[in-house]
Copies of this chain bind each other. A is one copy, B any other.
């Protein structure tokens, strides 16, 4: 990943409603959530949320599909991974032991539970 798209992603996440929205969709998994449900859970007006979804979508962090009258939004896990990888990528140039705890966080978070399955 290069700097410019990373800035775009970070900008999209640098907003209370948008960050909460993204986290909600990440939690929701591949099934995603309809826009209205997100608005209800976060307590924001539908049009305000729509603007937030638009920004996140434009940055490639989420995707959408129509289902009946609802539009379902889902997190783009690839984009999330790319952004995190970009942020982690530099720390090893200096001293690996400094950023090693990041791996510990990730394995605590993901592998420990994933490996158990």
**A positions within 8 Å CB-CB of B:** 3-4, 6-7, 10-11, 13-16, 19-20, 23, 26-30, 77, 80-81, 83-85, 87-103, 105-107, 109-111, 113-114, 117
Contact = CB atoms under 8 A, between A and B. Distances in A.
B92 A105 contact: no
For the complex of A and B, 6 pairs with smallest distance between CB atoms: A29-B94, A96-B114, A103-B106, A10-B14, A106-B106, A11-B14
Given A7-B16, A7-B19, A30-B95, A110 B117 contact: no
Contacts of A23: 90
10 contacts: A7-B16, A10-B19, A11-B14, A30-B94, A81-B102, A89-B109, A91-B110, A97-B117, A103-B111, A107-B107
